[in-house]
Amino acid sequence: MAQGLFTLRQVNQAIRQGAWSAFNPPQFVEYLCVAGGGGASRGGGGAGGLLTGIIPVSAGATLTVTVGGGGAGANNALASSGQNSVFGTITSLGGGGGSSGQNAGSGGSGGAGGIGSPLTIGGQGTSGQGNLGANGFLVPATGTAGGGGGGAGTIGLTGVNTQCGNGGAGIASAITGTVTAYAGGGAGGSDFGSIAGGVGGVGGGGNGVINSGTVFAGTANTGGGGGGTSGSYTGGGGGSGIVVVRYPGSVQFYTGGSVGLTGTAGSGASNGYFVTHSFYASGTLAPTTPVNLAPTLPANTAVFYSSGLWTAPAGATQVQYLIVGGGGGGGRDHGGGGGAGGFRTATGLAVTANTIYAVTIGAGGSGGGDVFSSNGGNSIFNGITSLGGGGGAINIVGGAGSGGSGGGGGRNATAGGTGTVGQGNDGGIGTLYTGAGGGGASAAGSVGGVATGGNGGAGTASSLIGTSTYYAGGGGGGSYPAGNAGGTGGIGGGGNGGEYYTTVAGTAGSPNTGGGGGSNFTTTANYGLPGGSGIVIIKWS
């Protein structure tokens, strides 16, 4: 796994050298740069190239960030490669497109060949970024099986007599504060019902299908390759890429991307902070007036922005807590907003002094592309679980997810997801043309207007960190036609819905709020936005 690359020794040395002291801007930043995945035909699409590392940054410099789009799938032809992602001088190459009756494309990871006779060759991966795509395979007395696209971690697999090739595995990273896999290869598909479709590589690779137009794209913002199908249908598109930048401490020195804080601090939990900038679309990392993102905590209080361990201090017998799950991802197109993560708070939970307790922070769910958006992850402390929010519906294909709060329904009156009693509320119902808002901790998601997206449900405030702060707002739904506003995210970190086919994009749920992601369909990106990660706050007595 690509862990955070800074060791404790490196951080301490940097502090001594003044690289990260007080309000001095960092001299180095850590990055994860993943390109767009390749589209699929019969053969699966190759994953986008994945690069991680540390680079120096000059004081006052602005760095350009380009997030590559996924390649389009193809019908019985060579699919498109994904687009490159760029951070400053770092370039990750788009994944190669999968093929049908021709050799596959090369890129960050190679696309896969589609047929076995004549043999079609998998594309090459780029050293340090990805791996080789598999060749097509001839199934005796049956037909051909598409191969799996390469992933960042392993090569794509060639099909066998009973199954098309699986996509190569991606690589996991904890740079955002939650362990997430990226750059999985897309699986192969086929025309022949006597064999099974391949399985997409972990890290957003799309599954393969057999002779079906219901295809699986690579997951948005993972760089996963698209899943293959038969020569009669168009394969799945590749997933868009992502760029994440972080630096130690709690002081924000840059604008750009979705800004969050990871790590833990407070009584029994101190292990340091990182400021993160997650780019789901292209932008800039630009200097700004420094601001400390960490709250001044009341006595006997600990806050977890990422998973960790809490040791109950001497004398502790009970805690007051707030536990918020990760928000659901937003749906694409005229889709629904993501539901907020479950919100649970109470007093009097028994603890034992000097005992170590695991704390799990739920990740935000992925936005929907050609595949469903995903639910957020659960947040857990001492036997109490707040469920992740439900993903928003994607256009007219498939319903919204249920969870802490339910995701919003999509167009054609798609039903919203169901919220969990004591944690959240239902997502709204879509209209004929617009998506509904995801549910929030305090209110259900709103139904959209005739042309405007529905608003996300409101979250709920807590003062456990010393100031009244809202959490668990639902994501806004998508609009239709162009020129009409998407829904507003619910107070508490809910992302806004995008405006249909314009440059007015939706927004992701805010990190560490459990806010649902907004629906999205701009002129450059047709995929929903991720939900915000969750949070756990503990106050002991």
Q: Where are the domains of the chain?
A: 1-20+30-248, 296-541
The residue ranking higher by pLDDT, 472 or 13, is 472
The answer to whether residue 20 scores a pLDDT higher than 50 is: no
**Exposed, middle or buried: residue 232 (CB in 10 Å: 0-12, 13-18, 19+)?**
exposed
If you ran DSSP here, which 8-state letter would residue 41 be given?
A: S
The answer to whether residue 22 scores a pLDDT higher than 80 is: no
Q: What is the pLDDT of residues 235-275, one digit of tens each?
A: 999 999 999 999 999 999 999 999 999 998 887 776 689 99
Q: What is the pLDDT of residues 217-232, one digit of tens each?
A: 999 999 999 999 998 8
The answer to whether residue 129 scores a pLDDT higher than 90 is: yes
The answer to whether residue 369 scores a pLDDT higher than 80 is: no
Single-letter code of the amino acid located at 312:
A
Determine if the peptide bond prior to 481 is cis (ω within 30°).
yes
- Residue 18's pLDDT is what? 44
Q: What angle do CA 436, 438, 441 make, to 5 degrees?
A: 145
- Residue 411's pLDDT is what? 87
- Residue 65's pLDDT is what? 98
User: Residue 423 and residue 472: Cα distance in Å, rounded?
Assistant: 10
Give bridge partners of residue 380 from the DSSP assignment.
Answer: 360, 385
Q: Please provide the average confidence, as pLDDT, over all residues in the chain.
A: 92
With H, G, I as helix, E, B as strand and everything else as coil, classify residue 16. helix
Single-letter code of the amino acid located at 287:
P
Q: What is the pLDDT of residues 465-506, one digit of tens each?
A: 999 999 999 999 999 998 899 999 999 999 999 988 887 889
CB crowding 436-470: b at 16 or more within 10 Å, else e:
bbbbbbbbbbbbbbebbbbbbbbbbebebbeeebb
Helix (H) or strand (E) holding 263: strand 258-266
Rounded average pLDDT over 51-55: 97
Contact 539, 298 (CB under 8 A): yes
The answer to whether residue 520 scores a pLDDT higher than 70 is: yes
Two tokens, residue 100: 């049908």
Contact 457, 471 (CB under 8 A): no
Confidence of residue 153 (pLDDT cuts 50, 70, 90): very high
- Residue 371's pLDDT is what? 65
Which parts of 256-327 fold into alpha helices (H)? none
- Residue 264's pLDDT is what? 87
The answer to whether residue 13 scores a pLDDT higher than 90 is: no
Confidence of residue 4 (pLDDT cuts 50, 70, 90): low
User: Residue 215 and residue 190: Cα distance in Å, rounded?
Assistant: 12
If you ran DSSP here, which 8-state letter would residue 70 be given?
A: P
